[in-house]
Amino acid sequence: MNIKTIAEMAGVSISTVSKIINNYDDVSQKTKEKVLEIMKQTGYAPSNSAKTLATKKSNLIGVIFAGELNIDFTHPFFVEVLNSFKKQMGLLGYDLLFFSNVKFHAEGDYVARCKHFQVDGCIVIAGQEVEAAIYELDQSNIPCIGVDLVLEGQHSGYIMSDNYKASSKVVEHFYLMGYRELGFIGSDFSEISNSRKMGYIGAIKDFGLPLKEEWFDNGDDFFEESGFHAMEAMIQSGSLPRAIFAASDLLAIGAIRALQMNGLRIPEDVAIVGCDDISVCQYTTPTITTVRQNKERLGKLAAHMLFDIINKQAMASSVLLESELIVRESCGSLPESPLLETGTHRVRRIR
């Protein structure tokens, strides 16, 4: 059973059956009902490849975890963003296709693979040591949205939290708590970590606070072990800041473990603030003060932005979302502070 047989049984042309399958309007209701009834009786279901050929759309979205060091499915922040994205794209009528980048230095690239699988667009999740093939994809005609990754091609956009402003909120909180000796733990290989670090340093200078290089330590990635080793090195140096901003909650968890193993109390000896507000922050001892990024909103906005580019309903653009400081035990409590009135859902369009 195929489209030709259906056309013969209905006494119509193959093109008419194709139009009915793909919901064209220029077919009479009577003909449409006749063809659909025959398809129902015969159990015929058009293949996805046939529909793709007719409409030039596959309704597939490529998902790429960028970078030689990528987060894959192991980072709770990006998993929550991706879950939100998946749900919204499903409501918009799209399925997801996950690309592997294990052999991205080998023959073949993302552009060729996207064309091979006929994806309608891609979401690209930030990693570390991003491969050149990502930026080739960015400059192609394939619609792309980067999450925590700047993409600026003609058919690309990106979405992320305003990292500079988030870092400023952390410094302001430390300042209001009376902390003047501030440190930082991040990752040398992450653009997001570096932007948080730059915003943090800028805010420290704005408040006229001392800036000591030995209180800034970068690990290899955003995970617990890097936070642990960075904090351990700082402890062994014999010079500790009074408060530390960790560029991710997982780094903060590792740092807390190192402090506790060395008999130091949080926040009595060293206060800690993380970033992302992953769910485990509520259950650690102490619970972690953190910068909350609206993960559901990030995923939902990424889906709508990509949908609009694919369907030419809007120009490619990029937005920054405002974050919120969530105060818990690891860095005191200021329930009356205006710092908490941040407006989680505000969005700033930057191009």
Distance, C-alpha 45 to centroid of its chain: 36
Backbone angles phi, psi at 250, to 5 degrees: -65, -40
Six token digits for residue 123: 């979401």
Residues facing 104 on adjacent strands: none
Amino acid type, 18? S
Structural contact between residues 20 and 32, judged by C-beta atoms closer than 8 angstroms: yes
Backbone angles phi, psi at 326, to 5 degrees: -105, 110
pLDDT for the residue numbered 156: 95
At 251-277, the pLDDT tens digits run: 999 999 999 999 999 999 999 999 999
Binning pLDDT at 50, 70 and 90, where does residue 14 land? Answer: confident
- Of 57 and 102, the structure prediction assigns the larger pLDDT to 57
pLDDT for the residue numbered 55: 55
pLDDT tops 80 at residue 144: yes
In terms of average pLDDT, the best of 27-41, 162-176, 220-234, 309-323 is 162-176
Binning pLDDT at 50, 70 and 90, where does residue 217 land? Answer: confident
Q: Mean of the pLDDT values across residues 170-184?
A: 95
Rounded distance, CA 320 to CA 323, Å? 9
- Of 178 and 55, the structure prediction assigns the larger pLDDT to 178
The residue written with tokens 């600026």 in the block is 152
Rounded distance, CA 128 to CA 282, Å? 27
3-state class (DSSP) for residue 75: coil
pLDDT tops 70 at residue 155: yes
Average per-residue pLDDT for the chain: 85
Amino acid type, 71? I
Structural contact between residues 3 and 50, judged by C-beta atoms closer than 8 angstroms: yes
Q: Poorest-confidence range of 62-76, 81-95, 101-115, 163-177?
A: 101-115
3-state class (DSSP) for residue 336: coil
pLDDT for the residue numbered 326: 94
Binning pLDDT at 50, 70 and 90, where does residue 25 land? Answer: confident
H or E element that contains 302 = helix 295-310
pLDDT tops 50 at residue 228: yes
The residue written with tokens 């990509």 in the block is 306
Backbone angles phi, psi at 218, to 5 degrees: -115, 135
pLDDT for the residue numbered 245: 97
- Of 36 and 169, the structure prediction assigns the larger pLDDT to 169
Distance, C-alpha 240 to centroid of its chain: 33
Rounded distance, CA 71 to CA 85, Å? 16
Six token digits for residue 115: 């064309």
pLDDT for the residue numbered 345: 36
pLDDT for the residue numbered 159: 94
Structural contact between residues 32 and 39, judged by C-beta atoms closer than 8 angstroms: no
Q: What is residue 320's DSSP assignment?
A: E
At 39-60, the pLDDT tens digits run: 888 887 766 555 555 556 778 9
pLDDT tops 50 at residue 239: yes
Q: Mean of the pLDDT values across residues 165-171?
A: 95
pTM of this prediction?
Answer: 0.76
- Of 176 and 25, the structure prediction assigns the larger pLDDT to 176
